[in-house]
Amino acid sequence: MVPMASDRALSILHLEDSLADHELAVLTLRRSGRVCQFLQVDSLPEFQRLTDSQPFDVILADYRLPGFTALDAWAHVAQKPHHPPFILLSGAIGEAAAVDAIRLGIADYLLKDDLQRLPHVIARALEVHEARQAREQAVAQLEASERQLANLAEHLQTSIEQERAAIAREIHDDIGGALTAVRFDVAWIGRHSADPQMQEHAASAAEMLQHAIGASQRIMMNLRPPVLEQGLVAAIQWLAAGFERRSGTPARVVSSSETIHAAADIQLAAYRTAQEALTNISKYAQASTVHIDLSDKEEVLTLEITDDGVGIDPALLNKPKAFGLKGLRERARTVGGWLDISSRPGHGTSVILSVPLTSASSSPPAQGDAQ
């Protein structure tokens, strides 16, 4: 026999109506070297009461008992979240019934004629039970960690947008205003100066100031897109026009309707997705055409950005430092949607954002102050 020595006594509940069979099981386990504490019970109500009132390390059960079977006892135990291993120990069970019992979740079965194997069966059942508990705990901890990371990511996204809005306001109110005022002053100096060199320098300075004003406006638009006040369709068209102007690559926008109603956070998520996708296309895709499809059919906002460029290596999609793509997926999740990226090297890339609109149909449309 394999020794089952342990510092802690094993608590065993034995569902058995034969005192002789119970004593034989006790003797077999004692010979194995394992210290055990036994409770024998032969009625279903008493079994239910004991399993409800105290914990056990192992449950041994005869298959057929007066008025019920071990499966009735198992049905009661199986409802408990952390039930102990349940082992059939019977002299009257066929192989088919034993297999069915295992499928129901019973840990193992053993014929009473083969009782000398009971220490092995219990040891194996405990080992499997402990491994399952460890796995369930690890899964629970992983899920908790993922929830915490998701909540952190959502908080960071919100904080980033708020900070972008604050910076955009400062650029508009302070830097933009100051540059405009200086430009007017420089232009005034140029108009009221009789020195040709002074006029030339003033004109050059005014031109540089106008360039700085344009740059500050572009930065402000990227940080806090006021174009969303005109609606999501107009905002996506504005993005596409800017992309086409900078890259020279045609970008066609097709929308299912002229106006798409969605909550402010959903519109912002769609806008940022299109912005990031177009940025990636201009940097890496080497595309000749870009198609943007926007739809709100069947109460689902769908944004698809497709290019005919070089595509993305599948390994790069799961690269640990692919923060841009991961950020888009997380942004989609924060508004209850999901992001799909399909690509093959040499066959272009398609980025699809899908967000159900039913839960957000009562939310107000995007406003400038919400960005």
The top-scoring range by mean pLDDT among 4-8, 54-58, 366-370 is 54-58
Domains in the chain, number: 2
Q: Which of 102, 137, 172 is the last residue of a domain?
A: 137
Residue 216 lies in a domain: no
For residue 90, the model assigns a pLDDT of: 86
Q: How far apart are CA 272 and CA 351, in angstroms?
A: 12
Report residue 222's pLDDT band, with 50, 70 and 90 as the boundaries: confident
Say yes or no to pLDDT of 100 above 60.
yes
Q: How many CB atoms lie within 10 A of CB 347?
A: 12
Q: How far apart are CA 60 and CA 25, in angstroms?
A: 10
Q: Report the largest interatomic distance among the alpha carbons of the chain, rounded to a whole angstrom.
A: 123
Q: Which of 137, 153, 188 is the last residue of a domain?
A: 137
CATH number of domain containing 369? 3.30.565.10
Residue among 221, 218, 220 nearest 167 (CA): 220
In tens, the pLDDT along 36-59 reads 899 999 999 999 999 999 999 999
346 phi, psi to nearest 5 deg: 85, -5
Are residues 231 and 370 both part of a single domain? Answer: yes
Domain span holding position 67: 10-137
The dihedral over CA atoms of 331, 332, 336, 342, expressed in degrees to the nearest 10, equals: -160
Are residues 124 and 230 both part of a single domain? Answer: no
Residue 178 lies in a domain: no
Residue 176 lies in a domain: no
In tens, the pLDDT along 156-178 reads 777 777 787 778 778 877 888 88
CATH number of domain containing 68? 3.40.50.2300
Are residues 237 and 367 both part of a single domain? Answer: yes
Q: Where are the beta strands (DSSP E) in the chain?
A: 10-15, 36-41, 58-61, 64-65, 68-69, 86-90, 108-111, 251-255, 290-295, 300-307, 338-343, 349-356
In tens, the pLDDT along 302-327 reads 999 999 999 987 777 666 555 667 77
Are residues 238 and 132 both part of a single domain? Answer: no
For residue 156, the model assigns a pLDDT of: 77
First to last CA, the chain: 72
Q: Which helix (H) or strand (E) holds 242?
A: helix 232-247
278 phi, psi to nearest 5 deg: -65, -35
Residue 158 lies in a domain: no
Residue 166 lies in a domain: no
> Which residues, in sequence order, are CB contacts of 125 under 8 Å at separation 6+?
58, 85, 87, 107, 108
